[in-house]
Homo-oligomer: A and B are copies of this chain.
């Protein structure tokens, strides 16, 4: 009940704080989120540089998701990905995460080409874990919704960090 009251309060605050502000000709838009639906409760890095910095400084593996908003395969994976609480919790606690709809200039992030959806792990030593792959020989870093268990097991692999050569 208190939660419901708080929600209503939050809405009132949101509505009043946007009063009188710029509204596009085409009507009010829903603000874009960094999560893009892959986990609204998670804290996402915005750029690859930022994500690498977080991975190094927190000594956590990085998961990079390449996807497209209007790609049905991306959408299907996103649905099961965002609905899986175990996966979301592990990501929240043990990973640095980044989702991108635009390729970076770093070719290490496309070991076998640029396609979506594609999930690449990067070790905090800045090494792309090209060894952590999905089920498909022609698109080694692609996952389908039915591959969620494999993805979770790959996350466990990524959590076993490489030894730094320092």
Contacts and interface: CB of A to CB of B under 8 A. Distances in A.
Interface in A101-138: 101-105
- Interface band, chain A: 35 or more
Nearest to A53: B102
Chain A at the B interface: SS class: loop
A33 interface: yes
A83 to B, nearest CB: 7
A81 to B, nearest CB: 11
Give the 10 A-B residue pairs with the shortest CB-CB distance, closest first.
A22-B88, A50-B102, A32-B34, A31-B40, A22-B85, A31-B33, A47-B47, A11-B11, A29-B41, A22-B41
Interface of A: 7-8, 11, 15, 18, 21-24, 28-29, 31-35, 39-41, 43-44, 46-50, 53, 82-83, 85, 88-89, 92, 100-105
